[in-house]
Amino acid sequence: MSEARLLLIDDDVAHLDALAERLARDGFEVAKAAGGAEALEQLDAAWPDLVILDLMMPEMDGQTVASRIKSRADIPILVLSAVAAADSKADLIAHFAEDYVTKPYDYAELVARVRRVLRRLADQIPVEELALGDLVLIPRKREAIVRGRHVSLSPTESRFLATLAAGMPRAVSTEQLLHKVWADSDGADPAYVWVTVRRLRQKLEVDPDLPRHLLTAAGGGYRLVADEPTRS
């Protein structure tokens, strides 16, 4: 499996460039943003596998950037900060970060932490590719092909579809989806599932109001099917 896509966000351009160069030499695909607004534009262009985010930035601070990223998709975030206080780390990890590295840091440790997070997430997406008639799902690439059209998926959407694919042809309950897709989220709510289903139907179904692939199961939960005849 190829190395992951990383998005680095830091207003310290010298540090940003130096870190990007080292990560690229280690095989990562790296995108850079010198501030929050630029980072959000990068998200619109392509979903990264992981964000490395500096907290102390002018105009839009790191916590604001993180909350806006998480409002779009639960892309994993590794925080870089000069603040070493234990309570700050605990608070940040509880709210939006998968890990926290204090500046100055050891580069080898940073890369080890990045790979650990990515490895854990990859383990949650075992499905390589799944053909469902006019829909092809490629969770590991965070991609779907809908009638020949390529569609990008967020990390959450990819894990969600992989979980449903692993359960085929059976339905997967809302509780199981919460446990598997949002395993690391405190206080995961069924609304997470409903919102994700709505987003996916908008992306993958010809008619989101008459879904043919992502169906609500009669006994609760959801299931994937290769095709469902159009209903009159």
What are the tens digits of pLDDT across the range 64-94?
888 888 777 667 888 887 765 555 545 555 4
Q: Which CATH number is 140's domain given?
A: 1.10.10.10
Q: How far apart are CA 159 and CA 225, in angstroms?
A: 17
| Segments forming the whole domain that contains residue 34 | 5-123
Looking at the predicted structure, is the pLDDT value of residue 225 above 70? Answer: yes
101 and 135 fall within a common domain: no
The total of structural domains in the chain comes to: 2
What three-state secondary structure class fits 144? Answer: strand
State the amino acid at position 185 in one-letter form. Answer: S
Q: Is 229 part of any domain?
A: no
**Where among 87, 108, 123 does a domain terminate?**
123
11 and 104 fall within a common domain: yes
List C-alpha distances in Å: 127 to 23, 102, 158: 27, 35, 10
118 and 136 fall within a common domain: no
**Where among 100, 123, 146 does a domain terminate?**
123
Which residue from 90, 98, 94 is spatially nearest to 117, judged by alpha carbons?
A: 98
191 and 104 fall within a common domain: no
pLDDT at 231: 44
In 73-204, where does DSSP find H-type helix? 86-95, 107-123, 155-167, 174-181, 190-204
Mean pLDDT of 133-162: 85
Looking at the predicted structure, is the pLDDT value of residue 230 above 60? Answer: no
Q: How far apart are CA 203 and CA 68, in angstroms?
A: 21
CB 57 within 8 A of CB 39: no
pLDDT at 152: 85
The proportion of the chain whose per-residue pLDDT surpasses 70, expressed as a percent, equals 83
162 and 119 fall within a common domain: no
pLDDT at 232: 35
The proportion of the chain whose per-residue pLDDT surpasses 90, expressed as a percent, equals 31
**8 φ/ψ angles, rounded to the nearest 5 degrees:** -100, 130
**Where among 102, 123, 144 does a domain terminate?**
123
69 and 118 fall within a common domain: yes
Chain length of the chain: 232
